[in-house]
Structure 1
Amino acid sequence: MIVNERQTPEGLLVSVCDEDVLGETFESEGVSLTVTEEFYGGETVGDETVVDSLARATVANIVGTQAVELAIEAGFVDEANVLEVGSTLHAQLLWM
């Protein structure tokens, strides 16, 4: 998976995606999701590093079946809140 971390005035923004979805566009029922290098590009890492990044995130955007399933398994995302966009999964995380 690919992780990108950015410090913002509101906290740590983490973007995570499966390697095979980077650069792809997914569409479903009027929703279009483009997984850009600019936003999602970063370091290729293992599951443990993804979980660590999500644990420190204030906000996270997660795209791809593997990445979203890991976020669910680790308890960061409720499966009921996951969106299916085309042939992939998308979830967002916001700690308040």
Structure 2
Amino acid sequence: MLLRERETAEGRLVSVCDTDCLGETYDNGRATITVSEEFYGGDDAVEATAEEVVAGLHRAQVANIVGTEAVGVAVEAGLVDEETVLEFDETRHAQLLWL
């Protein structure tokens, strides 16, 4: 999985995706999501284990998560409710917002 963390005016933004999702576009009939290098990759993105992804999500103010494995890690850790996960073609997407 790729993990990217950056500071924004609204707090820490974390993006996580399955490595094989990078550069792909997915559709579910109602919406489309593109897993762009600009948002999910870049020089500050690192390959991460499940434990590192969970730690990064705990540091996030806002997080975007794409991919069956990445979303599964967030759900298993209790950070994302399975009922809020969106299905896109053959992958999954979730967002996390700490208030």
Q: Shorter-chain TM-score category?
A: over 0.9
Q: What amino acid sits opposite 1:72 in the alignment?
A: V
Q: Aligned residue for 1:57?
A: 60
Q: Aligned residue for 2:25?
A: 25
Post-superposition shift, 1:30?
Answer: 2.8
Q: Aligned residue for 1:5?
A: 5
The 5-angstrom pairing of residues 1-96 of structure 1 reads: 1-41=1-41, 42-96=45-99
Q: What amino acid sits opposite 1:51 in the alignment?
A: V
Q: Distance in 2 between matches of 1:6 and 1:71?
A: 19
Q: Distance in 2 between matches of 1:84 and 1:30?
A: 11
Q: What amino acid sits opposite 1:13 in the alignment?
A: L
Q: Equivalent pairs: percent with the same residue?
A: 58
Q: Unaligned 5+ residue runs, structure 2?
A: none
Post-superposition shift, 1:83?
Answer: 0.1
Q: Distance in 2 between matches of 1:64 and 1:8?
A: 24
Q: Distance in 1 between matches of 2:10 and 2:30?
A: 30
Root mean square deviation of aligned Cα: 0.6
